[in-house]
Homo-oligomer: A and B are copies of this chain.
C-alpha cells in the first residue's frame, strides 16, 4: 500500500515549528510496511489543500493529514477532504456530547464554533480524541482513503496509536512486529559501528537505529503472517545484539529510562531522596512521573542556594567555603544529607554549572558532579556535558538516572 503525508498549517509553512508530525507518521508507516514516497506541507487554504490531496491520491491509495481540525474558520482540513470526496458533513451527536463533557470538566461551556468539530461525513469512521476536542476521521471513497488527524502531537500520536494503527493493520494480512531496545551511554554512530555486521546481514527482521532525546534506540522489525512467527525471527537477533552491546541496553520493552529506574526502586522497595542543585527538580520530576513511585520516594530538595544546602542537607559551611558548591565534596555531603533526612536507602545529588554564565577554566560550563549514596556507601562522578543550559540540565538528569540504574543491578 502507498500513502502520502500532508501536514496542514501556516505555523509549519512559516517555519514557526518543526514538523515532527511527518517524521512520526513516516516512521510508523514504514514500520507497518506502508510505502511513503512523498510528504507535503500546505497552509490552511482550501484551494491549495484540494490540489495537494488530488495530486497525492493520483499517485497513492491513501493520504494522511495532520492539522486543521480546530474550531476556527481557519481550520478546514476535514471540510476540504469531504469536499474532495463530494461528501456532506452531518452533526455527530456522540462527538458533540464528548466535546461538551470535555469543556464542562474545565468549568467552561463550548462556544458555537466548537460544534464544527463534531461534523463528519455520514460514512466516515470517527476517531476519538482523548487528549483534546478535535476528533479525527477516516474518509473513504471507492479504494481511496483520507485520514484526517489533529495537529498537536500529544493529540495526534495517541490517536494514531489507538485508532489508525489497528485500522491500517486490518487492511493487510501481513503483520509487522517490532521490538525496541533502548540504550544509554553510547552514541548512534558508535552503536551502528559496533553492530554493523548484524544490521547488514539482516533483511527480515530489519534493524534500525535512531537517536532521540539524547538516547539511542534500536528497532528490530519482522514481517510475518503471525505474531509468533515474527517473534521467532526477532529473538535471535536481539540475543546477538545483547552479546555485543548489552551493557548499554537499559530497556528491551520501550520503557523510558526514568520509568525503568522508578520501577526497580518500587519492586525492590528501596526508599529514595533527591537533592538537586543545577538540575533544579528535574530528577525528582522524572521519577515522580512514574505512577507507583509514592511508596518509595520520600523527598526531593531543590537546594539551589548555599543556605538551603546547609539548612536542609547539612552540607558543612567549611566544605562550601573550601571546595565550592560545585565540587565532589559538596555532592557527597548533599547525597548523604538527603538520605539521612528521611533515613532512605538511596540519596541522589546533582551540583554543577549549567551556564550560560558562571564558568571558569577550572570549572567550565557543563561541569556537573553527580552523587549517589546507597546503603552506607557514597560515590561521586564528575562529568562535563555539552549543550545549552536546558540540555546540560537534561543530560545531568538522564546520566544520574542511568548511573543509579547500573548500581541497582547489583543490589
CB distance from A119 to the nearest CB of B (A): 15
Q: Which residues of B contact A111 (CB under 8 A)?
A: 189-190, 193
- Look across to chain B and name the residue whose beta carbon is closest to the beta carbon of A279: B285
Interface presence of A324 (CB below 8 A):
no
Whether the Cβ atoms of A302 and B299 lie closer than 8 Å is yes
* Cα A193 to Cα B109 with chains together (Å): 14
* Cα A294 to Cα B281 with chains together (Å): 14
Interface SS, A side: mixed
| A contact residues, total (Cβ < 8 Å) | 101
Whether the Cβ atoms of A17 and B193 lie closer than 8 Å is no
Q: Which of B23, B301, B302 is the one whose CB lies under 8 Å from A17?
A: B23
Interface presence of A409 (CB below 8 A):
no
Whether the Cβ atoms of A15 and B26 lie closer than 8 Å is yes
Q: Which residues of B contact A300 (CB under 8 A)?
A: 280-281, 300-302, 304
CB distance from A218 to the nearest CB of B (A): 12
Whether the Cβ atoms of A106 and B12 lie closer than 8 Å is no
**Which of A284, A294, A303, A389 is packed against the most chain B CB atoms within 10 Å?**
A284
CB distance from A12 to the nearest CB of B (A): 7
Interface presence of A393 (CB below 8 A):
yes
Whether the Cβ atoms of B40 and A39 lie closer than 8 Å is yes
Instruction: List residues 11-59 of chain A with CB under 8 A from any CB of chain B.
Output: 11-20, 22-30, 36-43, 45, 48, 52, 55
Q: Which of B22, B72, B281 is the one whose CB lies under 8 Å from A288?
A: B281
List the number of copies, as a whole number: 2
Q: A19-B18, A26-B12 are in contact. Are A304 and B294 (CB under 8 A)?
A: yes
Interface presence of A355 (CB below 8 A):
yes
Whether the Cβ atoms of B308 and A298 lie closer than 8 Å is yes
Instruction: List residues 332-367 of chain A with CB under 8 A from any CB of chain B.
Output: 341-342, 354-357, 366
* Cα A400 to Cα B293 with chains together (Å): 23
* Cα A17 to Cα B219 with chains together (Å): 13
Interface presence of A282 (CB below 8 A):
yes
Interface presence of A86 (CB below 8 A):
no
* Cα A281 to Cα B102 with chains together (Å): 28
Q: Which residues of B contact A307 (CB under 8 A)?
A: 298-299, 342
Q: Which residues of B contact A141 (CB under 8 A)?
A: none
* Cα A70 to Cα B30 with chains together (Å): 24
CB distance from A341 to the nearest CB of B (A): 8
CB distance from A211 to the nearest CB of B (A): 7
CB distance from A21 to the nearest CB of B (A): 10
Q: Which residues of B contact A312 (CB under 8 A)?
A: 299, 301, 312
* Cα A389 to Cα B288 with chains together (Å): 10
Residues of A at under 8 Å CB distance from B?
9-20, 22-30, 36-43, 45, 48, 52, 55, 70-72, 102, 105-107, 111, 113-114, 131, 152, 154, 188-190, 192-193, 208-212, 219, 274, 276, 278-285, 287-289, 291, 293-294, 297-305, 307-308, 311-312, 341-342, 354-357, 366, 384, 386-391, 393
20 A-B pairs whose Cβ atoms sit less than 8 Å apart in the complex: A12-B26, A15-B22, A15-B28, A15-B29, A16-B208, A17-B210, A37-B43, A38-B42, A70-B189, A105-B386, A107-B384, A113-B193, A131-B388, A274-B302, A280-B287, A281-B302, A291-B355, A294-B304, A299-B307, A299-B308
